[in-house]
Amino acid sequence: MLRPMEGGGVYDHHNEYQMRGGLLHADLIATAASEILPDDRRGSVVLVDYGCAQGRVSNPLIRTAIERLRRAYPDVPVQVYHNDLLTNDWASLFDRLRSEDSYLTVAGGPVTPLVSATSFYEPVAPRGIVDLGLSFAAIQWLSSPGPRGCGSALYFDQLEHGPRAEMARQAHADWTRFLERRADELAPGGRLVLDMMGVPDGGTAAGHQAWQLVRDICEGMQRDGLLEAARLDDYVLPVYERSADEVRRPFGEAIGARLRLEHLALVPVRSPFTERYRADGDAGALAVGFVGFFRAFSEPSLRDGLGLDDGAVEELYRRLAERIEAAAAGFVFDVHALTLVISRID
Ligand SMILES: C[S@@+](CC[C@H](N)C(=O)[O-])C[C@H]1O[C@@H](n2cnc3c(N)ncnc32)[C@H](O)[C@@H]1O
């Protein structure tokens, strides 16, 4: 079973970094929304947020899309599908929809929130109805964990040779499958505005250093009897940071006859943790802030994948905070958002 983000609203308390990334795309979303031509027979416009989590990042962006649409179509009904895994923290998402800044408060015709609680590697919405699909910081999550039997390697960039190639193949197959499902769902004229974690050409994965620390910590916890060697041997986090070429590749294959890649950019997202550390030199604060962010997206997967109990989970993140505080001046986690606009070929 794929694991969602940390529940109880915790992910949304720690996603300042993802928020920065998402907000960089407001103009692309506004432009795509201004090009929507509502289908008179259907009578409503459909937006989908794929991999929505608890909704903090996408709420202002969905709001931007609806406000822009309303300039030309003040009364058109809008349906917003929120898609994530069945185990997502849906209660926190609906709390947010009741807040003052919710996109539901935009004036004009009715806006209806809907939930599609399924994997985005499966159909999420009925065929041919999606006018604008959005997705932020989600598509780097693959459909299943990486190869087994890889020693203490935990992150895709720690794999070598055959296992590395196997995970790259899985990432390609998943990306192709995601696009096929979306091609089925897009309405004529429909568009997707997406981002996912990416690696610059010849560059280093954002998670390189942090996951190397986690690997060292897991090896230590195994020696201390807190983690089973066989669980570590068989687990690689289901995340893959693609290169721009890997993102382009399916558009030169069969899906290229159904979807057009209109825009692709690799956008650096400045780390709020590093920025603050450079300003105040507070290594402890860097460690606390970074580990809060890192734990919010990694804990459910590591707990499950490595078979960690509560004590072992606490110990892992305690050791990580300690290591980051000690390495503060040289600690790097620089995300690059691969940003895409994709349209349906009619
Ligand atoms: C890092 S969070 C990003 C959430 C949100 N879009 C944001 O920008 O803050 C990744 C989200 O993708 C979801 N996700 C991962 N794999 C998924 C899948 N196969 N289907 C649907 N959602 C998935 C996770 O559950 C999680 O909520």
Output the pLDDT for position 101.
Answer: 94
Burial (0-12, 13-18, 19+ Cβ within 10 Å), 331: buried
Residue nearest to atom 24 of ligand 1 (CA): 4
Helix axes 272-280, 16-23, angle to 10 degrees: 110
Q: Retrieve residue 139's tokens.
A: 């598509």
Q: Is the CB of 137 under 6 A from ligand 1?
A: yes
Ligand 1 atom at minimal distance to the Cα of residue 2: 16
Question: Above pLDDT 90, what percent of the chain?
Answer: 91
Choose among 187, 193, 133, 137: nearest CA to 341.
Answer: 193
pLDDT in tens, 145-204: 999 999 999 999 999 999 999 999 999 999 999 999 999 999 999 999 999 999 999 999
- Full-prediction pTM beyond 0.85? yes
Q: Which of 72-81, 270-279, 322-331 has the lowest mean pLDDT?
A: 270-279
Q: How confident is the model at residue 1 (pLDDT cuts 50, 70, 90)?
A: low
Q: What is the mean pLDDT of the chain?
A: 95
Place of tokens 């734990």: 295
For the record, the structure tokens of 202 come out as 């010849």
> Which pLDDT belongs to residue 5?
73
Element (H, E) at 327: none
Tokens of 68: 């822009």
Q: Which two tokens stand for residue 51?
A: 């991999």
Residue 346 has pLDDT above 90, yes or no: no
Q: Of all atoms in ligand 1, which is nearest to the CA of residue 52?
A: 6
Q: Which residues contact 121 (CB under 8 A, 6 or more apart)?
A: 143, 174, 177, 178, 181
CA 281 to ligand 1 center in whole angstroms: 32
Residue 21, pLDDT score: 82
For 72-124, the pLDDT digits (tens) are: 999 999 999 999 999 999 999 999 999 999 999 999 999 999 999 999 999 99
User: Is the pLDDT reported for residue 250 higher than 80?
Assistant: yes
Q: Is 57 in the pocket of ligand 1 (CB under 6 A)?
A: yes
DSSP 302-315: HHHHHT--HHHHHH
- Closest CA relative to residue 193, chosen from 47, 4, 13, 6: 47
b/e string for 88-99 if b means 16 or more Cβ within 10 A?
A: bbbebbeebbee
Is the distance from the beta carbon of residue 255 to the nearest atom of ligand 1 less than 6 Å?
Answer: no
Mutation choice for ligand 1 from 2, 93, 192, CB with most ligand atoms inside 8 A: 2
Tokens of 273: 């943790």
Check residue 141 and report its DSSP letter. Answer: B
Q: What is the pLDDT of residue 293?
A: 93
**Residues forming beta bridges with residue 113, ordered by sequence position:** 80
* C-alpha dist (Å) from residue 160 to 36, 151, 153, 191, 213: 45, 11, 9, 37, 18
Name the residue with higher pLDDT: 344 or 13.
Answer: 344
pLDDT of residue 23: 87
Beta bridge partners of 210: none
Structural element, H or E, at residue 152: none
Query: How does pLDDT run across 133-142, given as a tens digit for each residue?
Result: 999 999 999 9
Rounded CA gap, 28 and 219, in Å? 44
